[in-house]
Each structure stands twice: as C-alpha cells, then as structure tokens.
C-alpha cells in the first residue's frame, strides 16, 4: 500500500517477477522487496505519482518510465486545488517548475484532464497497447482508497487545522525530531529482532550447535585429567582452546549488520528511530541467546573434565567472552563494505589477539613495543581469568615434582591475588561496552543517510 492505494498483491517470492513485468529488474545483490520500495518512492516523488503503479497492479497497464533517474521532481510547496469545486485537485506531489518529456504523451490517463466551458472532458483517458499479461489482479470487490488534501499536510499544518497535536507534535506545539519515545523505539526494534530470529533460527542455532558439539568433544578429549605434569598440560590446553572456540565461533555475526545496513539507512534517514536505540535493542535481544550458548558449553564440560574453582565464575567468564567478541565483530561489520572484507578483518584481528594473549609468550616477556597489544587483546582476560579460577589456591596438581595451584600461576607470570580474577571479567565487559560505543559512533556519524 502507498497513499491508500494497492501497489502489489502477492507473495514475497513473486516480487522479482512483478518488477520484471514492470520493466524495473532487481539489481544483482539487492533485495527485491527493498527495490520495490525504492520504485514506489521514486514514482511517489515524480509527477506521475503512485497512481501509475496502482494502475499496473490492477489492470496490468505498464507504467511509464521516469524522466531521468536521480533527478527529483518533488516540489516543497504542497499542491493546491484548481477550480472552485476542487474537482481537479492533483493528488500527486507534482512540481510546478519541472516538466517531464512525457507530459505531452497520452499513453496513460491524464492526471488532470482539460475541460471545456460545458464541463465535458476534452481529452478522455486513452490507454496504450502495452498491457502486461500475467499481472495479478486483486478481487474487484476491494475498494481503492482515494487520497485527499489532508494527506499532504505536514504534522504542524494538520495540527493547526484540527486543533490537536499531530505526530511528533507535543501539547505546546513544538515538533519533536522523533515521533516515538526512546523506550518505544527500543521495544519495537527488539520485537523485530526476535521475529527475525524466530523466522531464521539458524542465526542462533548455528553457534549453539558449534559450542555444543565442541563441548562434547572437549569433555571426551580431556576427561578427568590426572594430577601430574601431563594433567596440568591438558588443563592448560583445554582453557586456551575454549577461549579460541568462543572467539572464533562469533565470526558468524559478521553479516548481521551488513545485511541490515540498507534498512537501517532508509529508516534512520526518515527519523524512524535513533541510532542509539538500534544499538541498545540489538544488545538486549542477544543477551539471553548468548547466555544459553555459554551455559550449554559450561554444563557439558565442567563436571565431565572435573574442573576446580567456582562454576559461576566459569559461566560468567564464558558469557562475558561472547559479549565482548560479539561487540567486536558487530563493530567491524559496520566499517567494512562487504562480507569478504568483514571476515578477513575479523579473522586477522582475532589471530593477533590470540598471539598476544599470553599463551605463547607471557605478558612480561613480550617486547616493549608490543605490550600494548597484550592490553588490547580481549583473549588475554578470559585466558588469565579461567586459569586463576582453576589453579588459584594451594591444591596440589602434581606430586612429582610437587606443584600447587599458586606455583603454576607464578610460573605462568599470572597474578595469584584471589580477587583479581573478577577484575578480568570487568575488563572484558569494559571492552564489550567500548566496542558497542564505537559501533554507535559509526552508525551515528559515519553512516550515510542516503541509499546508493
């Protein structure tokens, strides 16, 4: 529907064929529904209006092509009725200062027929022969709504005409930048995100299946390690591999924003919602799903391997790892133009984080010029935090040679302070917030509110 008239009647899969019959083929790589909305907007802003598309939907009469693509024919002055009775009112947003090369042609019904002194029309509508067969026609019993002058009034004009505040107008008569409140925007965006996940469950189930399968693999691979040097090595291998799995499995979030970029630009260009509301809604939507993924892996591996420390800390650290890496991947997806560069950038940065996390070279042995990489590596904090939770204390993990948990941490140059492991969680959450802020700044200031 557009301005009360039917633009298309059919299923989503038939939109491409509908546009092809219209003569507006969908460009390669673009969504067909998005392209249909673009076509409707172009005709709505032209001198022909959306009546041409409505006529095509009803009768199959192919609409005339626009004068020139990319040239706006919209006048900022609303059209006014002609004649005392207002019968010749032009319902399209036709510019008074631009003429189309089709203005003299009579292939479709004239939008404003001339009348003689007797009131009879001098140029009755004449249809051209180009009626496309196969265009779906709705039931004749459906009535078509005809727009009126009030449809083209601005909210301020409508408020002054009716005496009541319009959309985005408060009681004092001031126009707000956004029609809805911040909470309403977040709620609507959350509902849409949950609907998308419900319709495409593979977005959520793919990572859940990966972590579940890897959890069973790790549980059977490192089951009940012995208290000796080999058992210590097995525990270290389990934790570093766990960190890698959680960070590399988040690469599937790269297409998340790339697929929605055009929709976001279209909607925010019309002030449908704030960029911050989009960011907050995305975070809140994925919180329960990330928690479920972390819990599935933790429940499978904790008792099967016989880990020590606090189970709650183990779960919280895995959860924080998913939050931070998800925020990082979403930020990267907002600054790259396509999937290929997105995956390449995420994999490259994740490999660097893995190199400087402290597993291959401890943090005190890293060259001075590269110590900053150890700080920005988000894999450092879950790696050290999980080791603190496992080996912290005086429990013996090896009898020959005798090694307790604190001795193992000291050999790895990791702090043995009991409360420091919770700082690692806070640092990791801080990086998650930092990358979300960067994501917001890119959306707010770097995203062009104009579709190419």
- Considering the domain architecture, whether residues 358 and 217 belong to the same structural domain is answered as yes
Q: Is the pLDDT at 149 greater than 50, yes or no?
A: no
- Asked whether residue 174 is domain-assigned, the answer is no
Residues 71 and 45: their CA atoms lie apart, in Å, by 10
- Asked whether residue 319 is domain-assigned, the answer is yes
- Asked whether residue 67 is domain-assigned, the answer is yes
- Beta carbons of 281 and 257 less than 8 angstroms apart: no
- Asked whether residue 177 is domain-assigned, the answer is no
Looking at the chain, the whole-number percentage of residues with pLDDT higher than 90 is: 34
Q: What is the pLDDT of residues 71-84, one digit of tens each?
A: 444 444 344 444 44
- Considering the domain architecture, whether residues 228 and 82 belong to the same structural domain is answered as no
Q: What is the pLDDT of residue 84?
A: 45
Q: What is the pLDDT of residue 446?
A: 82
Whole-structure pTM value: 0.63
Q: What is the pLDDT of residue 242?
A: 94
Q: What is the pLDDT of residue 382?
A: 94
Q: What is the pLDDT of residue 44?
A: 87
Q: Is the pLDDT at 361 greater than 80, yes or no?
A: yes
- Considering the domain architecture, whether residues 135 and 275 belong to the same structural domain is answered as no
- Asked whether residue 452 is domain-assigned, the answer is no
- Considering the domain architecture, whether residues 323 and 408 belong to the same structural domain is answered as yes
Q: What is the pLDDT of residue 381?
A: 94
- Considering the domain architecture, whether residues 195 and 135 belong to the same structural domain is answered as no
Residues 225 and 148: their CA atoms lie apart, in Å, by 78
- Considering the domain architecture, whether residues 80 and 221 belong to the same structural domain is answered as no
Q: What is the pLDDT of residues 207-258, one digit of tens each?
A: 899 999 999 999 999 988 888 889 899 999 999 999 999 998 888 778 878 8
Q: Is the pLDDT at 22 greater than 80, yes or no?
A: yes
Domain span at residue 378?
Answer: 182-446
Q: How many domains does the chain have?
A: 2
Q: Give residue 68's pLDDT band: very low, low, confident or very high (50, 70, 90).
A: low
Single out the residue of 419, 245, 397 nearest to residue 306, CA to CA. 397
Q: What is the pLDDT of residue 89?
A: 43
The domain boundary residue, chosen from 137, 168, 199: 168
The domain boundary residue, chosen from 110, 141, 168: 168
Q: What is the pLDDT of residue 67?
A: 66
- Considering the domain architecture, whether residues 159 and 255 belong to the same structural domain is answered as no
- Considering the domain architecture, whether residues 120 and 198 belong to the same structural domain is answered as no
Q: Give residue 170's pLDDT band: very low, low, confident or very high (50, 70, 90).
A: very low
- Considering the domain architecture, whether residues 259 and 200 belong to the same structural domain is answered as yes
Say which residue, 45 or 190, is predicted with more confidence.
Answer: 190
- Considering the domain architecture, whether residues 157 and 200 belong to the same structural domain is answered as no
- Asked whether residue 62 is domain-assigned, the answer is yes
Q: What is the pLDDT of residues 102-139, one digit of tens each?
A: 344 444 344 444 445 555 545 444 444 444 444 444 44
- Considering the domain architecture, whether residues 296 and 191 belong to the same structural domain is answered as yes
Looking at the chain, the whole-number percentage of residues with pLDDT higher than 70 is: 75
Phi, psi dihedrals of residue 97, rounded to the nearest 5° = -115, 5
- Considering the domain architecture, whether residues 130 and 202 belong to the same structural domain is answered as no
The domain boundary residue, chosen from 168, 196, 219: 168
Residues 6+ apart with CB under 8 A from 181: none
Single out the residue of 327, 350, 326, 342 nearest to residue 250, CA to CA. 326
Q: Give residue 99's pLDDT band: very low, low, confident or very high (50, 70, 90).
A: very low
Q: Give residue 30's pLDDT band: very low, low, confident or very high (50, 70, 90).
A: confident
Mean pLDDT of the chain: 78
Residues 72 and 429: their CA atoms lie apart, in Å, by 47
Provide mean pLDDT across the span 372-388.
93
Q: What is the pLDDT of residues 388-440, one digit of tens each?
A: 999 988 888 888 888 888 899 988 889 888 788 999 999 999 999 999 999 99
Q: Environment class of residue 118 by beta-carbon count within 10 Å: exposed (0-12), middle (13-18) or buried (19+)?
A: exposed
- Asked whether residue 173 is domain-assigned, the answer is no
- Asked whether residue 318 is domain-assigned, the answer is yes
Q: What is the pLDDT of residues 294-322, one digit of tens each?
A: 999 999 999 999 899 899 999 999 999 99
Residues 39 and 51: their CA atoms lie apart, in Å, by 13
């Amino acid at each position: 529907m557009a301005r009360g008239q039917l633009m298309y009647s059919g299923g989503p899969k038939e939109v491409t064929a509908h546009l092809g019959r219209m003569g507006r083929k969908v460009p390669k790589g673009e969504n067909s529904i998005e392209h249909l909305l673009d076509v409707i907007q172009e005709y709505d802003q032209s001198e022909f209006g959306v009546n041409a598309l409505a006529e095509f939907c009803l009768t199959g009469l192919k609409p005339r092509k626009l004068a020139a693509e990319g040239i706006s024919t919209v006048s900022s002055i609303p059209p006014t009725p002609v004649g005392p009775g207002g019968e010749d009112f032009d319902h399209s947003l036709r510019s008074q200062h631009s003429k189309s090369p089709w203005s003299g042609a009579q292939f479709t019904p004239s939008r404003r027929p001339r009348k003689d002194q007797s009131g009879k029309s001098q140029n009755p509508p004449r249809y051209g022969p180009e009626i496309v067969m196969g265009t779906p026609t709705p039931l004749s019993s459906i009535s078509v709504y005809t727009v009126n002058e009030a449809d083209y009034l601005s909210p301020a004009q409508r408020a002054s005409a009716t005496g009541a505040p319009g959309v985005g107008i408060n009681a004092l008569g001031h126009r707000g930048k956004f029609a809805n409140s911040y909470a309403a925007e977040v709620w609507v965006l959350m509902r849409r995100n949950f609907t998308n996940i419900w319709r495409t469950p593979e977005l959520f189930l793919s990572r859940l299946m990966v972590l579940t399968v890897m959890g069973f693999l790790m549980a059977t691979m490192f089951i009940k390690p012995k208290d000796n040097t080999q058992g210590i090595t097995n525990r270290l291998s389990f934790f570093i591999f766990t960190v890698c799995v959680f960070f590399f499995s988040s690469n599937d979030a790269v297409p998340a924003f790339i697929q929605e970029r055009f929709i976001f630009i279209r909607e925010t260009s019309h002030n449908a919602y704030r960029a911050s509301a989009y960011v907050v809604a995305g975070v809140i939507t994925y919180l329960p799903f990330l928690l479920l993924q972390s819990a599935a892996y933790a429940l499978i591996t904790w008792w099967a391997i016989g880990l020590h420390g606090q189970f709650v800390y183990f779960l919280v650290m895995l959860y924080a790892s998913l939050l931070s890496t998800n925020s990082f991947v979403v930020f990267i997806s907002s600054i790259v133009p396509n999937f290929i560069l997105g995956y390449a950038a995420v994999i490259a940065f994740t490999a660097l984080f893995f190199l400087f996390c402290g597993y291959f070279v401890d943090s005190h042995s890293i060259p001075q010029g590269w110590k900053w990489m150890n700080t920005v590596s988000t894999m450092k904090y879950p790696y050290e935090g999980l080791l603190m939770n496992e080996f912290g204390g005086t429990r013996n993990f090896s009898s020959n040679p005798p090694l307790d948990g604190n001795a193992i941490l000291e050999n790895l140059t990791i702090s043995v302070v009991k409360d420091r492991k919770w700082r690692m969680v806070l640092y990791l959450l801080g990086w998650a917030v930092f990358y979300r802020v960067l994501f917001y700044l890119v959306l707010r200031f770097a995203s062009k509110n104009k579709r190419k």
